[in-house]
């Protein structure tokens, strides 16, 4: 008897082995190469050294197809005789760019690209290399691990999910204890973002190997939190009340559940001098909210494209915000080892003005802090990779 696995293989329509094996031809003849974010073997999108991207979609029956950068150009694509739509989009900044296709009015992820969780959905993104820059690349250096953990939260009444980066050598010397950076994603993203989109593990591997950052743990938890008894609460009266409520649940979850879990599960140095928190966009606001209400727990603070939460419609009053922590600049400087704020120069005007305004207000009030601007980048991951790359070396020294 001859088991017919060849037939079985032939019927496995999704077994694209041969394609993977054969799709390895170079393209030295032009300047465009397949993006590193493509799924295995996909030839498109293709990127050029100067940041242009060629998109492609086969859609013979469609009447209009557009390549749609979320932060950047939206380009009508052109149909050829076979129904293949293509376009070469104008140059964008280096880094990871979310995009979709819009086909006859419907917005979808590109089947040829890896998908990432952003904008509260799975969306395509294309990596545009930054020439000469490799601090977020997987290089030939020792690599830490990223550990997926679950912790049981009484605050939310649920098992919650987080990722923890441990530096190279964590399992080699069992007497060493480490400081901890809590690092938050933005709104519409989740706890996978800093690894998948941000390359946080490679950034830390590279900084640590170069001696430019202390070996540390990085904890990335979900920023969304809902109280165990939320069903009994009245709905928030407005957007601000809703935000404040979520930030308050997040604050309780971090301080009452996550930190004790991390300190119990990992070899941390469990004190405020060895604990930092940072976050991007919404995560930056959550960082300010959580750390400035708990300076007994944190002494390093980072806001990447998101910082203070204004007091509802009335803005931020430094004399009273966060229990008056900013009222005495000298006392603040004694207590807080680092207050770091960053923004991309090409972010939307309101965001730039907001974060830059926090910086200006702090400077005018004489509050010691670091202010960073990422040149030529928008509200996007390249801004936050650069922010982390500037922020992390300042920690725990």
Binding to a copy of itself (CB under 8 A): which residues in 238-267? 239-240, 242-243, 245-246, 265-266
Measured CA distances, 102 to 63, 109, 125 (Å): 11, 9, 15
Phi, psi (degrees; rounded to nearest 5) at 279: -165, 165
Residue span 165-184 as binding mask against a copy of itself, x where in contact by CB under 8 A, dash where not: ------x--x----------
- Nearer to a copy of itself by Cβ, of 103 and 128: the residue is 103
- Nearer to a copy of itself by Cβ, of 297 and 361: the residue is 361
DSSP bridge pairs for 181:
218, 276
Residue span 281-320 as binding mask against a copy of itself, x where in contact by CB under 8 A, dash where not: xx--x--------------------xxxxx-xxxxxx---
Sites for a copy of itself among residues 66-105 (CB under 8 A): 70, 103-105
Query: 89: Cβ–Cβ under 8 A, 6 or more apart, which residues?
Result: 52, 53, 54, 55, 67, 69, 72, 73, 75
- Nearer to a copy of itself by Cβ, of 220 and 337: the residue is 220
What dihedral do alpha carbons 190, 196, 201, 204 form, nearest 10°? Answer: -80
- Minimum distance from residue 245 beta carbon to a copy of itself (Å): 7
The yes or no reply on residue 234 touching a copy of itself (CB under 8 A) is: no
Sites for a copy of itself among residues 339-378 (CB under 8 A): 348-351, 353-358, 360-361, 364
Map tokens 């293509």 to a residue: 86
Q: What is the DSSP string of 261-324?
A: HHHHHS-B--SGGGEEEEEETHHHHHHHHHHHT-TTT-SEEEEES--PPP-GGG---TTTHHHH
- Minimum distance from residue 247 beta carbon to a copy of itself (Å): 10
The yes or no reply on residue 210 touching a copy of itself (CB under 8 A) is: no
Stretch that binds a copy of itself, among 115-123, 254-262, 269-277, 324-332 (CB under 8 A): 115-123
The yes or no reply on residue 228 touching a copy of itself (CB under 8 A) is: no
Instruction: Pick the closest to residue 394 from 78, 87, 138, 181 (CA basis).
Output: 181
* Choice from 28, 40, 81, 82 touching a copy of itself (CB under 8 A): 40
């Amino acid at each position: 008897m001859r088991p017919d696995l060849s037939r079985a293989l032939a019927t496995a329509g999704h077994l694209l082995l041969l394609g993977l094996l054969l799709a390895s031809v170079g393209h030295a003849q032009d300047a465009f190469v397949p993006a590193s974010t493509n799924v295995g073997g996909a030839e498109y999108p293709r990127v050029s050294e100067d940041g242009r991207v060629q998109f492609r979609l086969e859609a013979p029956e469609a009447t209009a197809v557009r390549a749609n950068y979320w932060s950047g150009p939206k380009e009508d694509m052109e149909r050829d005789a076979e129904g293949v739509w293509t376009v070469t989009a104008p140059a964008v900044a280096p880094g990871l760019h979310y995009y979709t296709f819009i086909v006859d009015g419907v917005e979808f992820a590109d089947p040829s690209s890896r998908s990432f969780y952003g904008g509260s959905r799975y969306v395509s993104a294309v990596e545009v290399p930054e020439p000469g820059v490799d601090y977020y690349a997987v290089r030939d250096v020792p690599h830490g691990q990223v550990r997926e953990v679950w912790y049981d939260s009484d605050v939310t009444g649920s098992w919650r999910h987080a990722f923890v980066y441990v530096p190279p050598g964590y399992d080699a010397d069992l007497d060493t204890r480490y400081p901890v950076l809590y690092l938050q994603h933005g709104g519409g993203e989740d706890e996978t973002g800093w690894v998948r989109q941000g390359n946080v593990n490679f950034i830390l591997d590279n900084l640590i190997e170069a001696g430019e950052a202390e070996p540390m743990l990085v904890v990335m938890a979900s920023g969304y939190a809902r109280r165990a008894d939320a069903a009994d609460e009245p709905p928030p009266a407005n957007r601000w009340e809703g935000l404040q409520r979520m930030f308050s649940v997040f604050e309780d979850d971090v301080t009452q559940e996550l930190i004790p879990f991390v300190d119990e599960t990992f070899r941390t140095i469990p004190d405020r001098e060895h604990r930092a928190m940072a976050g991007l966009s919404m995560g930056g606001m959550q960082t300010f909210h959580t750390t400035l209400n708990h300076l007994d727990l944190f002494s390093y603070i980072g806001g990447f494209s998101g910082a203070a939460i204004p007091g509802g419609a009335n803005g931020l009053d430094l004399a009273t915000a966060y229990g008056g922590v900013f009222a005495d600049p000298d006392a603040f400087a004694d207590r807080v080892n680092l207050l770091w704020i960053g923004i991309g120069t090409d972010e939307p005007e309101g965001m730039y003005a907001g974060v830059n305004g926090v910086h200006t207000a702090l400077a005018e009030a004489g509050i010691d802090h670091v202010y960073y601007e990422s040149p030529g980048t928008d509200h996007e991951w390249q801004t936050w990779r650069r922010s982390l790359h500037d922020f992390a070396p300042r920690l725990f020294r």
